[in-house]
């Protein structure tokens, strides 16, 4: 598994969230996870996590 960006002392485990959504039968679990992330954390915070994750 890849390194995950830190979120307020914890970790944001993208792979775990996507796997859970896939198991529940989501058509596009990656898109749904992104939508949930933006809704819960806010657009700016989610974009910052995304930018940090791409850097590695």
For position 1, what pLDDT does the model report? 41
Residue 52 belongs to some domain of the structure: yes
Residue 50 belongs to some domain of the structure: yes
pLDDT digits (tens, 9 = 90+) for 1-55: 445 555 554 456 778 888 999 999 999 999 998 888 888 888 888 888 778 777 7
Q: What is the pTM of this model?
A: 0.66
Residue 6 belongs to some domain of the structure: no
- Total tally of structural domains belonging to the chain: 1
Residue 43 belongs to some domain of the structure: yes
Residue numbers of the domain that contains 32? 25-56
Residue 14 belongs to some domain of the structure: no
Residue 4 belongs to some domain of the structure: no
Residue 10 belongs to some domain of the structure: no
Find, among 14, 50, 52, the residue nearest to 33 by Cα: 14
- DSSP secondary structure of 1-56: -----EETTEE--HHHHHHHHHHTT-SSHHHHHHHHHHHHH-HHHHHHHHHHHHH-
């Amino acid at each position: 598994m890849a390194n995950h960006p830190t979120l307020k002392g914890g970790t944001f485990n993208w792979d775990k969230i996507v796997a859970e959504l896939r198991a529940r039968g989501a058509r596009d679990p990656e898109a749904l996870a992104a939508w949930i992330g933006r809704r819960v954390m806010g657009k700016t915070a989610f974009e910052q996590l995304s930018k940090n994750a791409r850097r590695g």
